[in-house]
Amino acid sequence: MAASTQSAESQSLQRAVLGARRLSNMFWAVVLSLGGAGFFLAGLSSYLGRNLLPFSDPTQLVFIPQGIAMGFYGVAALGLATYLWLVIALDVGGGYNQFDKANNQVRIVRHGFFGDNRHIEIEHPLDQITAIRVAIKEGLNPKRALYLKIKGRPDIPLTRVGQPIPLAELENQGAELARFLQVPLEGL
């Protein structure tokens, strides 16, 4: 959860959730774009017999099999880069968690791809919330997340996907949310 806003009367709490617009995703999109363009131009240069790259001379490559392999790798990398740029532009996975005491409702919104059927929106009464659960798993693939426990439903994740949140920040967010909702904090 990236940002938090709370109303003056302490009736509403809204937290933004970071989606695909992360620095790491942008880094990999740039790397894939540049690398894919280089490989594609190298393959095309070997086919045309003209140098299209300013830093090397791929015209010396034999088109079959080297040039065609370079072109294939370039097209694959450019395809992945296009997908990654699209995910970043749409901010897939981003959204917010809103807890509104005045309306007795929790609203969890996440952005998806195109159309209404790819947009996730969950609304539930606040009095159905039983606890806030903290899940911590260390090791090679660490996981630190907050979950909303609701009667009769599976736990709903409240934190971003991907890079784990620092432990102190996770504990503070969980404690703040449990205090605001007046429910127990589990898992610490």
Cα atoms found within 13 Å of the Cα of residue 89, Cβ hemisphere only: 8
E strand or H helix that includes residue 178? helix 167-181
Report which of 31, 51, 33, 34 is spatially closest to residue 42, judged by C-alpha positions: 51
Neighbours of 162 (CB within 10 A): 12
Residue 141: the pLDDT is: 83
156 within 8 A of 95, measured Cβ to Cβ = no
Residue pLDDT, tens place only, 1-31? 445 566 545 789 999 998 899 999 999 999 9
Total domains present in the chain: 2
Single residue among 63, 90, 117 that ends a domain in this structure: 90
| End position of a domain, from candidates 90, 119, 140 | 90
Instruction: Yes or no: say if 43 and 16 are a contact pair by the CB < 8 Å rule.
Output: no
Residues 29 and 97 in one domain: no
The tokens for 170 are 């996770």
Question: How many other CB atoms sit within 10 Å of the CB of residue 175?
Answer: 14
Alpha helices in 49-92 (DSSP H): 68-90
Using 50, 70 and 90 to split pLDDT, how confident is the model at 138?
Answer: confident
Dump pLDDT digits (tens) for 103-112.
999 999 998 8
Does pLDDT of 69 surpass 60? yes
| Same structural domain, 78 and 125 | no
Same domain (yes/no): 85, 103: no
* Same domain? 168 vs 151: yes
- Per-residue pLDDT of 48-59, as tens digits, reads 999 999 888 888
Residue 37 has pLDDT above 90, yes or no: yes
- Note down the domain range covering 131: 4-19+92-186
d(CA 99, CA 101): 7
pTM check: above 0.75: yes
